[in-house]
Amino acid sequence: MNVSLRPLRIEDAAISYLWRNNPEIWKYTGNKPDKEITLQTETEWLSRVLLSEDEKRFAICVGKNDEYVGNVQLTDIDDSSAQFHIFIGNQKFHNKGIGAEATSQIIKYAFNTLKIDKVWLKVNSNNLAAINSYKKCGFVEITNDNGTILMMILNDGK
C-alpha cells in the first residue's frame, strides 16, 4: 500500500477530532483526552501546535487518493534529538504496515533533513504491536520503567 506523509493542516481537524474521541485508539497511551474533543477544540489545538518551532507534524496518507488515516510527529526537537509520536486513527488501516512505513519515512526526515542525531519515544509495555513495529524500524529499548519503555534510534549516517 502506498504510504505518504504531508504536513498536517488545520482542515485535518474535521477528521482527527473523531479519532481523539475513540477510546480504542488511546488504549495504550498516557495522552488520552480527559474530555470529549469537539471540532472546535481540535481546530484550536491544531492552530496552536502547527505554529510551534520545535515540532513537525504530518498526516499519514494512503492509496491513490491519499486518504488521511493518521498522524506522525516529531516534538521537543532540538539540535540533537526529537521525540517521536504516531497513531493510525482510521482503524480499518491497523495492522497493515502503514505505521512502520510512516515511521521509516519520518526517521529519514529527522536524520536527513533536520540533521539530528537521535529520535526517541515512550511506549506502553503492553503495546506489543507498536514495540515490534518500532524494533523493525531500528529503535532499540533503552529502559523499561513501570510499564513504560523508552526506545531510541541513532543516526548512523553521520
- Residue 28: what pLDDT? 65
- Residue 104: what pLDDT? 96
- Can you give the residue range of the structural domain that contains 77? 3-116
- Residue 29: what pLDDT? 66
Domain count, the chain: 1
- Residue 75: what pLDDT? 97
Predicted confidence (pLDDT) per residue in 83-109, tens digit: 999 999 999 998 899 999 999 999 999
CA angle 93, 7, 100 (to 5 degrees): 35
- Residue 90: what pLDDT? 93
Q: What is the CATH number of the domain that holds 16?
A: 3.40.630.30
Phi, psi (deg, nearest 5) at residue 8? -65, 145
Spans of the chain, pLDDT less than 70: 28-34, 157-158
- Residue 125: what pLDDT? 92
- Residue 1: what pLDDT? 78
**Per the domain annotation, does 66 fall within a domain?**
yes
Neighbours of 84 (CB within 10 A): 24
**Per the domain annotation, does 17 fall within a domain?**
yes
- Residue 32: what pLDDT? 60
Contact 112, 119 (CB under 8 A): no
- Residue 31: what pLDDT? 61
- Residue 36: what pLDDT? 85
> Taking Cα atoms as reference points, which of 84, 122, 119, 77 lies closest to residue 5?
84
**Per the domain annotation, does 135 fall within a domain?**
no
